[in-house]
A = this chain, B = another copy of it.
Amino acid sequence: MVKQILEKIKPQHLFATCRNPSGAKELNDLASQYGNLHVIELDLGNEDKYTEVVDKVDAMTGGEGLNVLINNSGIYGDKGVSSIFNLDKKQLQEHFDVNTFAPVFLTKAFVPLLEKASSKGGSAPNGIGRAVVMNISTKMASITDNTSGGAFCYRSSKTALNMLTKCMSFDLKAKGIVTVLMHPGWVRTDMGGPNGLLSTDESANGILNVLENIGEDDNGKFLQFDGQQIAW
């Protein structure tokens, strides 16, 4: 995703956060190639650090604000939890911390910078020319689409993210910020495994096509990598 944003969208600045920058070889290689890519340390579990990251971004953008926030963090630790019979409360809570609460409160922290970017958008229509929040969700969070059960922690934590994102979309719209949910497809990543239906390139390409064309009408919608809308 970072690679394609650099190549296709060519932003003035791109901030990529990760838990352990010194171990993020691919990101660091890209950063040495692209001067506009900045790698920032952030463990989303440390909510106390959010303000620090926001301040860094604010300083590095010279107060111009942030046009796009993509919340892509997520864990899928359900491999041992196949049913209500072995559901574990600690594991469930951990999924809500990472998949639900972290993206919501990071977004809350970035609202001032998003609002600033939107207000500086001149005559641009609502969208990435102003400000967009894209929360990465999953089709597995669709209750309509849940015809087999299982994956309690992953599914329910992302369903809660869907509702919270829908809720915030009304508040952010009033600030000129468009908020969407994105299902990236079943991708051949570490999380998706080798049987995924899409390569990372295909998924990232789809997501960025959708992102570039987001408008006010998309606010609060649950879209997938090819632009189709997903049922709640």
Contact = CB atoms under 8 A, between A and B. Distances in A.
Contacts of A152: 164, 167-168
Contact-residue bracket for chain A? 35 or more
Interface of A: 47, 83-85, 87, 89, 92-93, 96, 100-101, 104-105, 107-108, 111, 141-144, 146, 148-152, 155-157, 159-160, 162-164, 166-172, 231-232
A227 to B, nearest CB: 19
Contact of A168 (B96, B149, B168): B149
A116 to B, nearest CB: 15
Nearest to A149: B170
Contacts of A89: 47, 101, 105
A143 B232 contact: yes
Contacts of A93: 101
Contacts of A108: 84-85, 87
Contacts of A170: 148-150
Contact of A84 (B111, B141, B151, B156): B111
Contacts of A171: 83-85, 149
B141 A172 contact: no
A187 B107 CA distance: 34
Contacts of A143: 162-163, 166, 232
Contacts of A163: 141, 143, 146, 155-156, 159-160
